[in-house]
Amino acid sequence: IKGSWVNRNAKLPRIGKKVLCRHCGEEYEYQGPHVKGKISDKFGCSGGYRNHEPNLVFKDSDLKFILAVQNAEEVLEKLKKDSIFLARTLRTMDYSLLIGVHKTPVPIPSDEESQEPDSKTLRATVVQTPVQFHIGIIDFLQAWTFKKKGERYIKAFLFGNDLQGISAQPPEQYLERFQQTMEYLIVSPKNRSLSVILPYTGGLHERK
């Protein structure tokens, strides 16, 4: 996650490429977004889904959730210090926040008394749910070079992209947008009903 929004969608793999399923972890041959992989034609997805789906690295425009964490203020403070260190000491930009999601099968307790004998409703017995998130800043060594300045000019003025939405920004502007995105993304449980534990092992500003 960079905080930009121009061309910030995950790219699907090419047809025929061997990929891992995001649900069960099995390798299969990708045949398109609405077509089963060859392995799943016979067995299906062992993760409880009908079809395999490729394990993609999602980007800003794919983000559909907000993280409510127990130590939100501490996490935000560390992210702010790290990004300030990158922008004002190293004079770098174009870094990203990587969020790793660990899922696990969670059984659903049966409630036979509430189920009518002739009901046509099928009850789920197991669901895949996120139980832990891991985050960290990556790709933080990109300097604001002449090449990046040229990229900014080409994307904004030749291709007509939103100047504020492209990833190529001077360090101070990139810092401001990155921090605004982090403040929107990470909130305390009192502001959201969902609460998860999200460990943060950053501390770039503390490293020598």
- pLDDT the model gives residue 202: 39
pLDDT (tens digit per residue) in 52-89: 888 888 887 776 666 766 778 888 899 999 999 999 99
Dihedral, CA of residue 17, residue 18, residue 21 and residue 22, to nearest 10: -60
Determine the pLDDT at residue 116: 56
Which residues, 6+ apart, have CB-to-CB distance to 74 below 8 Å? 200
CA distance 202 to 113: 49
What confidence score (pLDDT) does residue 208 get? 33
Q: Are strands 27-29 and 67-68 parallel, antiparallel or unpaired?
A: unpaired
Report if pTM > 0.75: no
Cα(166)–Cα(151) distance, integer angstroms: 9
Query: What pLDDT is attached to residue 72?
Result: 81
pLDDT at 203 over 80: no
> How many Å apart are CA 158 and CA 10, to the nearest integer?
24
Count Cβ atoms within 10 A of the Cβ of residue 22 and give its class: 0-12 exposed, 13-18 middle, 19 or more buried. middle
pLDDT in tens, 84-133: 999 999 999 999 998 887 878 778 777 655 555 556 666 767 777 777 77
Helix (H, G, I), strand (E, B) or coil at 138: strand
- Note the pLDDT tens digit of each residue in 8-45: 778 888 888 898 887 778 888 888 765 544 444 444 67
The β-bridge partners of 105 are 128
pLDDT given at position 37: 44
200 — phi, psi (to 5°)? -125, 120
Which three-class secondary structure state does DSSP give residue 200?
strand
Q: What is the pLDDT of residues 125-159, one digit of tens each?
A: 777 777 777 888 999 999 999 999 999 999 888 88
Residue 50 is predicted with a pLDDT of 66
